[in-house]
Amino acid sequence: MTSELDIRAATRGTHTYLQHCYFTRPFKVADISGSRTGDLHLTMMTASPGILDGDFYQIAVSLEKDSSVHLYTQAYQRIFNMQNGAKQRLLVKMAKGSSLYYLPHPSVPHEASVFDSVSRIEMEEDCRLLWGEIITCGRKLNGEIFRCRYYRNTLELWQHNRLLFKDVTVLEPAVIPPVSMGQWETYSHQASLLWYDKQQDMTAMGDIIHECLSAEKNITAGVSRTASGALLLRVLGQGGEQLYELFKKIALLAGAERKL
């Protein structure tokens, strides 16, 4: 089933508002902004238990000039047993001075699942971006560890038709066992966080994040600068909730975590 979600945000004075929202089953969108902030806070929801065989998710997010959007997810994204596979394509367009913060719940690829996801972000000048992704080994508590057939996740960041950053994560356990040396080894979860903000001193922020990571137990992590000046954080751990909460702590450093 092909499902569509189209979100467009614009500004009115100092506030960002939901200018347009269109979705088909099983998508839903909830505006949880309230009156606490001038930013737009949206939760993307789905009536489906997860991604099913043959699903094709097409998601578009457009931010007008100086708008600021926080995107949340409802729960862990389960990717079920499949014969043919499922796909997701996410396109984000950011006008000058806009900000996007996207820290979704972890993805859980079930046994025999096949999933291909591509996220493309096209930004203009003076934009701020905080983009996180967490991948689990599967239903770990059920003993279903690295049983997916194929999982591929691609993230691309573009500015004026110039590629600033590209990251590709592939899980194909039958070909390259994640437990082998140089892969995930003894860990069962992987997380990555891209932070792009020309207004921040990223060298100083990298040092602060490194101290934050040093206080976490049972993880292996690293922080690096990309060619475009962004920060890339990569973490290996044993639990999705720990990595999700860690990203929320880092979002506080960026001033991007919602303060309820």
Give the helix, strand, coil percentages of the chain, each rounded to 5: 10, 50, 40
Question: CA torsion 196→197→198→202, rounded to 10°?
Answer: -80
Helix, coil or strand: residue 119? strand
Per-residue pLDDT of the chain (260 residues; tens, 9 = 90+): 999 999 999 999 989 999 999 999 999 999 998 866 789 999 999 999 999 999 999 999 999 999 999 999 999 999 999 999 999 999 999 999 999 999 999 999 999 999 999 999 999 999 999 999 999 999 988 889 999 999 999 999 999 999 999 999 999 999 999 988 889 999 999 999 999 999 888 888 899 998 889 889 999 999 999 999 999 999 999 999 999 999 998 888 877 654 42
Whole-prediction pTM: 0.93
What does the alpha-carbon distance between residue 122 and residue 133 come to, in Å, rounded to a whole number? 18
Structure tokens at 126: 């003076």
Q: What residues does each domain of the chain span?
A: 2-253
CB atoms within 10 A of CB 99: 22
